[in-house]
Structure 1
Amino acid sequence: GPSDLFARARALPEAARVLRLETDSGFAGGQWFALMLLAMFSVVFLPRQFQMLVVENVDERHLKRAVWVFPLYMLAINLFVLPIALAGLLHFGPGRVNAETFILSLPLAQGTPVLALVAFVGGLSAATGMVIVEAIAISTMVCNDLVMPWLLRTRRFGAAAQRDLSRVLRPIRRGVIVALLMLGYLYFRLAGEAYALVSIGLISFAAVAQFAPALLAGMYWKGGTRAGAIAGLTAGFAFWTYTLLLPSIAKSGWLADSFLHHGPLGIGLLKPEQWLGLTGLDGLTHSLFWSLLANVGMLVGVSLWRAPSARETSQALLFVDVFERTATAGHDPVFWRGRAKVGDLLATVGRFLGRDAAQRLFADYASRTGAAGIDKIRPDAQLVQFAETQLAGAIGSVSARAVVASVVEEETLAIDDVMRIVDEASQLRAYSHALEEKSLSLERASAELRAANEQLKSLDRLKDDFMSSVTHELRTPLTSIRALAELMLDDAQMPSEQRQEFLAIVVTETERLTRLVNQVLDMAKIESGHAEWHNSDIDLRELLTQTVQTTREMFRERGTEIVLQMPPSVPLLRADHDRLTQVMLNLLGNAAKFVPHVGGRVEVRLAVDDQGATVEVQDNGAGVAPELQPAVFERFRQGVDERSRTQGTGLGLPISRRIVEHFGGRMWLRQEPGQGACFGFTLPWRGAS
């Protein structure tokens, strides 16, 4: 019985070591953990397992039963594995018979060929079934995820072609199955003689385990990205190939032994089974350690280095929180908004599944949803999901999504809908960084466009004012000069006194034209940075005295009193004498224009402190209207409305301000009710030579 079998096995050293996790038995704790990890991953990620558990599972409730039935089934079929292995070791001895044939060798050795035949037929059936399911699963994956996306991007088979692809899918899958079986046989011929069947299976298990980090991260981590998954898979499969697949081929004699024992190019640290000098592990555990370490490291590192896109963020929310969303998704299809036509979806499904099969599927859907017929089906999100599900079984979820999207007019989700997808506790985090940046960029561009538009409008108004002002200022003296010249030309007998008077007026008007042109040129030079500056040491007392004396006659003719108030002495100032004189003449000329004709008074005040000198020109005129004060220093503005416009171009104050600012000062307007306008400027001290 079993007790006697285990008792005899403990007496056999080779069998006793297998029953204990000891280092010298070749089956230590590290290898045991690696095998358990591989088995756990393989239950879900092997193609045949994934095909049965996920792809062909039409009802999620089946998983609740499979959670306990499948482990129980695995336990049941493995109850007899250990007794058969121990019986084979006890009967044949270690190494005499291939352990994989114990189930056939033991009945034959005991003279029961019928039992051996039954075991052979059962094993052949199980192996055949596994090969069939595995081949179908892999061919489906290759067809759906590699071949079909490529075909759908071609002109011949794309959405615009409207060709029936149901007859194309079967030959493609058959070809993939044949190629898959041939590749399996080729690997068996290359490495099968050096490895047992179980060892070959473990190599494939280690390859399948590379899908685990990306798949598990997609289900439980919202920060994972597509780039991170691809980087992890690439690194993992690269290490698996180098540390496990190539050594299996080398042990079969297809690669030099030096590759295994000395590493490529004799570099010991690059030995495939002792990478970077890591020893003490069997080949499988060693490969699994490095491949998963590289896989997880690249997945996490690249995902953290590169922020997820808007689509990756939304997909992560839907997959990670799938159970929270499932309860409301059926009643409130917030995940999809758009318009679809039943006829278009029916024709699309018929392209890949056949027209008759599509008719049957849609008729069944109509009966389940309570529609009177296919033409009465409501074209909503549920129908779109149904069409995608049917197509996913034939061409894969990615291709199905693309094909359905080509015939469905999707609408952009409103922000309220997006917020309903996002967790209440992480609403700000759910916003797409790409959308935020684009929105901010559009806002900035819109603001810049509005500012540029306002600036253009302002420049257009200034241009009109300038043309009006300059035209008026040019026409007036030109008209006067022309009239006087014509009078002198027509009257050859004109008295010399009158002729001299007319010539004096012509000279005055010519000087006026010269000042106008000079002001326009000065403004252009100052703004373009091409103005010439001749700095020297200036005594402001002397400069103000000269400018007041220059304009005193003008004020006397207008009946205006001008008063100069200055301290006894002031430090020298480093500046351009002519430019500052121009500033003072502009300010005094402005004051002369706006003082009253009777009782006019202008005060020029100079004050100094440690920071610099301050000059003010105060008049007792009407002042500047409050609504015009902000624009008084702008070009072509005169501080008065159009009805009371005086002679001038409106360039005097802007030029004066530019000159003052050139020397580091500032100019201002200050006025109090009933006291006229006070224009002033401050200049900081400059080092005098």
Structure 2
Amino acid sequence: MINSSLVIIVSLAYIGVLFAIASYGDQLAATKPARRAEGKPIVYALTLAVYCTSWTFYGSVGLAASSGYDFLPVYIGPILLFTLGYPIILKIIRIAKAENITTISDFVAARFGKNQTLSAIATVTVVLGILPYIALQLKAVSASFNVLTNNLDGKVSTAIGIGNWWSDTALVVAALMIIFSIIFSTRNVNATEHHHGMMLAIAFESLIKLFAFIAVGVFVTFFMFGGIGELFSGAAESPLIVERFSNGIDGPKWITITLLSMAAIICLPRQFHVAVVENSSEDELKKAAWIFPLYLIAINVFVIPIALAGLLVFEGSNLDADTFVLALPMLKQQEILALLVFIGGLSAATGMVIVATVALSTMVSNDVVMPLFIRFGPHGIGNRGNIGKLVLKVRRVSIFFILILAFVYYRIAGEGQALASIGLISFAAVAQYAPSIFGAIFWQKASRLGALSGVLLGFFIWAYTLLLPTFSESTWLPIEFMIDGPWKISFLAPHALFGIPFNDPLTHGVIWSIGANILAFVLISLVTKHTEIERSQAQAFVHIDTSYSFNKIEKLPATLTVSDVQNIAIGYLGVDSVERAYNEYAANQFLELDPMAKVDAGLLRYTERLLAAAIGAPSARLVMALSLERRNMNMKSALSLLDDASDAIRFNRELLQSTMENVSQGIAVFDEKLRLVWWNQHFVDYLSLPHEYARTGLTAEDLIRYSAEHGEYGAVDSDTIVTEMMDAHRSLTPITYERTLPNGTILEGQTTATPGGNIVITFTDVTERVNTTVELAEAKESLELRVIERTQALTQLNNQLREATLIAENANLGKTHFLAAASHDLLQPLNAARLFLSSLAERPQSADNAKIIERVETSLKSVENLLEELLDISKLDAGGFVTHIEDFAINNLLHELTLQFAALAQERNINISFVSSQRFVKSDIRLLRRILQNFLSNAIRYTPIGGRVLIGCRLKGDTLRIEVWDTGHGIPEEKQKTIFGEFEQLANSENLSTGLGLGLAIVDRISKILNHQITVKSQINKGSMFAISLPIGEAVFDLSIKAKKSNPVSDKLTDAIVLCIDDDQNILDAMTELLSVWQCDVRTACNSSDWQDALNGATPNIILADIHLGTSISGLNVVDNIFLKFGRPIPTIVISADQSEKMILEASRKGHSILAKPVKPAALRALMTRLLTTTNQQLN
């Protein structure tokens, strides 16, 4: 027996050491983050060992002593999850970091629409489920203290009753735990801020309890029994031991405990906190994946030896097997070892209680108390002062009541329970969240109502089958309740529900509760609809590594400013924390935050995440929604706005990250205090940084020092480099430099300051560029001579090519000018001749004269056609045709062409017909008509009298082929290619005098311009087929209404004053003759000045004008002057041999009609009649 005062002094001294370690950890994190980061993965792995509580330290030996190897599944589960299930843990951590999640209830609520009801129910059920576990720690510490200070059975007077509860050692332990937990863990309101000092103290406790357990194991095995062999030999002679360790493995029980422990490593609030919330990098998890399993193996090595030794030494006594670890050294009067063991057990218990109460108090504060305060508090959202202090008070009060309730449970039901039994009941409670958590990250159809139903049903069955029986065993409920069921309804017996008994009550309760949980979760999820935020969060959780789509963000309230949302955050987090967070946000976004500027979706979502760190995601969402509601937005719109903002920010963040990770440069951003706030992987790779250096908050000084110490700057003093580089960065002046790394890589670094005072550093691998520059410099000398030689040769060749090109261009230009002049000069007399002939034809003539006139007119038409062909072939060669591609119905064109050639075919007694088609094609209808006119003209020309010509269409894939068939003499095969050359004609006795042989040459050139394929098939004495293939076009509809044909209004031209302007007197004379026959009053002018004399004060009804009046006078300008003279436009017809694109566009733009020389009298008369009719209608 050890004096109780000594035990208390040692315990307090140990707690003081823990406080010192925690303080050192916080100071180290603040002043030397780089040094702290070096050991962080080890610390992180050791904090995971908070899983090993006093249950492990004392209870595992007790469980082994009572049931053999049944303690092993408790550790097999975590080992399996951290080795085989590593991706699951990693995904949960990534989700938690992305969503700023702080607790297990926050995780579930955030996944299922940030629902407050679900988070509150999760908090209450988890707290109730963990109370037995905390009671286990109180029982273990108080029992060990009693063993150490009283007697070996560890029992004192703790009979239940009002008069002696205050003398229970567990109450003192609970009080100390309350004080310790409050001081240790409730200093920061931001639950996502890492508790560096606390975690360092927990890691230290893990080492202490491992050392203490191994120490007692070595003492018992090798000093009490002389080694493993002797211990096992003694155990083999004990019938009791042989019986307990030879019963084999209870398969269902092992599977149940293994699955429970796998779930517990995630679902236990303390494990979620240390594994997820306190995680700083994925590298920490990678190291923990093998360190933590090794720790679990090490701490269990001596469980069976200690259990065997306890059974051998205390055989026949009533000593609780849970105290064997402490009782054995006490029996041998090893007081120092016993004190060490007690400290180890105290470490195991306090570590669990501290972290568990941190997590549970955060849950109670964020998910139960704060939502009520936010909704029903006495003041408005913006007038609550520093609500962060209130949050801390709520957490401290929560810790107090949690531990008091745990003490009450211990007094009521926990005294008579083994440590392992109590722990497994809590495992089963938190396992009710396993379906919801694993469904949350893998099943996108999981719904809020499904999770809520599953948790409530599973928790109810857990409480009925596992929790209530503990009260029955402690006489608070009658034993008949557990045996016969309530009201003696046997099929409702807690350990044989529905009349189905199990060998193990734990397996029975777990199967029924978890089974019902999963069934309700799945079925209700399948039949319920998801809200918009549920779908958004499901996408974010299930597909954490993919980009997100988002809806258009609802318009933000115009009155909501940056200052407004900042003040909301300050009320919960304090001025310093919020200002620091907002500065980091501004640095990351490369902007300056104007307090009076309108808030954007990014800052709104960022503020919500800041609040989520303090009061949880559901409460943060509620706070922001209420704030928006005060800006004349209803609650539904406010919540929808937050959901859309969340999606948008997630998308933008993923897009930015993806973009930056795919650029070749290494990029890092430092804030105004030269702390790292953002980087991409290339930055880490280029500088060969360890993973612990790739973290937010790392100072530029630590980064530069690391690089200098590892030779990145060459053989120079690291302090000197650090000073120089830091001074350069602080100056905010742009810097460009090159660094040669030890591996030979050459990096170009650029440092740029942003307007907000941040520093952007980029590193580009310029090794190849530098090496290429060197190689080029070396090759330059040898290349210079060759360059000079080649330059001279190229210069000479270029001069020759330039001269040849100039000659060709001049020749082509001369050809073009000649054609333009020829077209005008040749067509002018032809135009006059046609006009004279038409005026003559209008007069009464004898039959012989009429026949002569007809023959002359035919000859003129032939000359016109020949000139048109010559001009067209020249324009095609000179690129003078401009295409106008459009979609049109082919049937209209075929019908027009058939009618056009019907008269010519009738003259030769040839049957011409066409097959209609409803297809639409894409082409230039004007040029296509020219091609088909040539095909039909040749077909009629070369088809004997009485023959047949057919035109139709055939669909070939995605093209339409227009075919012209005739029953002519056919074309020899050797001629089928040459007929497309200039001046090529086939010998045909029936039509030797028609054409120059340019028709098909024109067709060939036009088809190439249009990119249409020409096809020819022919058989001698059977006929020929010419075809052109066109792309299929889109359907278009001609909605214009064709005017009905009206009877000619010959009297419209009678007495009409017609002003004719042309520089060719012959044309004026011919026009006068023709128009006089039409009873027009004709006035003529040869140039731009004598039109006024010609009119002699009269106002013309219509103007006929040529374009070119001499060398530099434009007929269009003359017409403009006439319009100006009379103050209004007069109907004008431009008659010219110049049919260039420029002329046509200019005349059309001015609203003039256009006819080509030589003009056709019928066309002229029709056009004049139409224009005069239209003008008269407008005037009337």
TM-score band, normalised by shorter chain: 0.5 to 0.7
Partner of 1:42: 264
Return the match for 2:563 from 343, 352, 366. 343
Return the match for 2:452 from 216, 230, 244. 230
Q: Secondary structure in 2 aligned to 1:253?
A: coil
Structure 1 residue 364, shift from structure 2 partner:
4.2
Partner of 2:580: 360
Whether the aligned pair in 2 keeps the contact of 1:30 and 1:281 (CA below 8 Å) is: no
Unmatched tracts of structure 1, length 5 or more: 422-689
Q: 1-side partners of 2:344 and 2:235: how far apart? A: 27
Whether the aligned pair in 1 keeps the contact of 2:561 and 2:597 (CA below 8 Å) is: no
Alignment of 1:209-248 (within 5 A): 209-248=431-470
Note if 1:30 corresponds to 2:252: yes
Q: 1-side partners of 2:418 and 2:371: how far apart? A: 38
CA displacement 1:187-213 (0-9 Å, x = unmatched): 101112220122111111111111111
CA displacement 1:266-316 (0-9 Å, x = unmatched): 111111101112223211111101101111111112112323333322222
Quick one: structure 1 residues 251 and 155, their matched pair in 2 at CA, closer, same or farther if it must change by over 3 Å? closer
Return the match for 1:393 from 588, 602, 613. 613
Q: 1-side partners of 2:477 and 2:266: how far apart? A: 33
Q: TM-score of the superposition, structure 2-length normalised?
A: 0.33
Q: 1-side partners of 2:257 and 2:535: how far apart? A: 35
Partner of 1:299: 521
Q: 1-side partners of 2:553 and 2:415: how far apart? A: 55
Return the match for 1:193 from 412, 415, 436. 415
Whether the aligned pair in 2 keeps the contact of 1:363 and 1:374 (CA below 8 Å) is: no
Quick one: structure 1 residues 380 and 48, their matched pair in 2 at CA, closer, same or farther if it must change by over 3 Å? same
Percent identity of the aligned residues?
A: 41
Alignment of 1:173-572 (within 5 A): 173-325=395-547, 341-367=561-587, 383-406=603-626, 410=641
Whether the aligned pair in 1 keeps the contact of 2:611 and 2:617 (CA below 8 Å) is: yes
Q: 1-side partners of 2:371 and 2:642: how far apart? A: 24
Q: 2-side partners of 1:371 and 1:355: how far apart? A: 20
Structure 1 residue 377, shift from structure 2 partner:
11
Q: 2-side partners of 1:160 and 1:376: how far apart? A: 16
Whether the aligned pair in 1 keeps the contact of 2:381 and 2:623 (CA below 8 Å) is: yes
Partner of 2:1178: none
Structure 1 residue 111, shift from structure 2 partner:
2.5
CA displacement 1:539-576 (0-9 Å, x = unmatched): xxxxxxxxxxxxxxxxxxxxxxxxxxxxxxxxxxxxxx
Quick one: structure 1 residues 377 and 158, their matched pair in 2 at CA, closer, same or farther if it must change by over 3 Å? closer
Q: Secondary structure in 2 aligned to 1:79?
A: coil
Q: Secondary structure in 2 aligned to 1:195?
A: coil
Q: 1-side partners of 2:268 and 2:259: how far apart? A: 13
CA displacement 1:500-545 (0-9 Å, x = unmatched): xxxxxxxxxxxxxxxxxxxxxxxxxxxxxxxxxxxxxxxxxxxxxx
Q: Secondary structure in 2 aligned to 1:324?
A: coil
CA displacement 1:18-46 (0-9 Å, x = unmatched): 54563xxxx61111111111111111111
Partner of 2:918: none
Structure 1 residue 347, shift from structure 2 partner:
1.6
Partner of 1:15: 241
Partner of 1:516: none
Whether the aligned pair in 2 keeps the contact of 1:55 and 1:393 (CA below 8 Å) is: no
Structure 1 residue 110, shift from structure 2 partner:
2.1
Structure 1 residue 235, shift from structure 2 partner:
0.8
Return the match for 2:298 from 66, 76, 82. 76
Structure 1 residue 59, shift from structure 2 partner:
4.2
Q: 2-side partners of 1:399 and 1:173: how far apart? A: 15
Q: 2-side partners of 1:320 and 1:297: how far apart? A: 21
| AA of the residue aligned to 2:376 | T
Q: Secondary structure in 1 aligned to 2:299?
A: helix
Unmatched tracts of structure 2, length 5 or more: 1-226, 629-637, 653-1180
Structure 1 residue 65, shift from structure 2 partner:
3.3
Whether the aligned pair in 2 keeps the contact of 1:337 and 1:381 (CA below 8 Å) is: no
Whether the aligned pair in 1 keeps the contact of 2:550 and 2:644 (CA below 8 Å) is: no
Structure 1 residue 143, shift from structure 2 partner:
0.8
Partner of 1:57: 279
Partner of 1:2: 228
Whether the aligned pair in 2 keeps the contact of 1:166 and 1:352 (CA below 8 Å) is: yes
Q: 1-side partners of 2:235 and 2:258: how far apart? A: 24
Structure 1 residue 178, shift from structure 2 partner:
1.1
Q: 2-side partners of 1:140 and 1:380: how far apart? A: 30
Whether the aligned pair in 2 keeps the contact of 1:151 and 1:158 (CA below 8 Å) is: no
Q: Secondary structure in 1 aligned to 2:477?
A: coil
| AA of the residue aligned to 1:400 | A
| AA of the residue aligned to 2:485 | G
Q: 2-side partners of 1:382 and 1:5: how far apart? A: 67
Alignment of 1:115-130 (within 5 A): 115-130=337-352
Q: Secondary structure in 1 aligned to 2:369?
A: helix
Whether the aligned pair in 2 keeps the contact of 1:107 and 1:115 (CA below 8 Å) is: yes
Partner of 2:124: none
Structure 1 residue 253, shift from structure 2 partner:
0.3
Alignment of 1:674-685 (within 5 A): none
Structure 1 residue 376, shift from structure 2 partner:
12
Q: 2-side partners of 1:411 and 1:138: how far apart? A: 27
Q: TM-score of the superposition, structure 1-length normalised?
A: 0.55
Q: 2-side partners of 1:193 and 1:73: how far apart? A: 30
Whether the aligned pair in 2 keeps the contact of 1:371 and 1:377 (CA below 8 Å) is: no
Q: 1-side partners of 2:365 and 2:529: how far apart? A: 31
Larger radius of gyration: 2
Whether the aligned pair in 2 keeps the contact of 1:232 and 1:295 (CA below 8 Å) is: yes
Note if 1:159 corresponds to 2:378: no
RMSD: 3.3
Alignment of 1:575-590 (within 5 A): none
Q: Secondary structure in 1 aligned to 2:503?
A: coil
Structure 1 residue 334, shift from structure 2 partner:
7.6
| AA of the residue aligned to 2:611 | L
Whether the aligned pair in 2 keeps the contact of 1:194 and 1:252 (CA below 8 Å) is: yes
Quick one: structure 1 residues 281 and 305, their matched pair in 2 at CA, closer, same or farther if it must change by over 3 Å? farther
Whether the aligned pair in 2 keeps the contact of 1:14 and 1:94 (CA below 8 Å) is: no
CA displacement 1:419-457 (0-9 Å, x = unmatched): x99xxxxxxxxxxxxxxxxxxxxxxxxxxxxxxxxxxxx
CA displacement 1:39-68 (0-9 Å, x = unmatched): 111111111111222334354554333333
Note if 1:110 corresponds to 2:336: no
Q: Secondary structure in 1 aligned to 2:426?
A: helix
Partner of 1:150: 372
Quick one: structure 1 residues 280 and 155, their matched pair in 2 at CA, closer, same or farther if it must change by over 3 Å? closer
Quick one: structure 1 residues 229 and 29, their matched pair in 2 at CA, closer, same or farther if it must change by over 3 Å? same
Q: Which moved more, 1:158-167 or 1:212-221?
A: 158-167
Structure 1 residue 320, shift from structure 2 partner:
0.9
Q: 1-side partners of 2:519 and 2:569: how far apart? A: 41
Partner of 2:154: none
Q: Secondary structure in 1 aligned to 2:381?
A: coil
Partner of 1:530: none
Whether the aligned pair in 2 keeps the contact of 1:262 and 1:271 (CA below 8 Å) is: yes
Note if 1:141 corresponds to 2:363: yes
| AA of the residue aligned to 2:344 | G
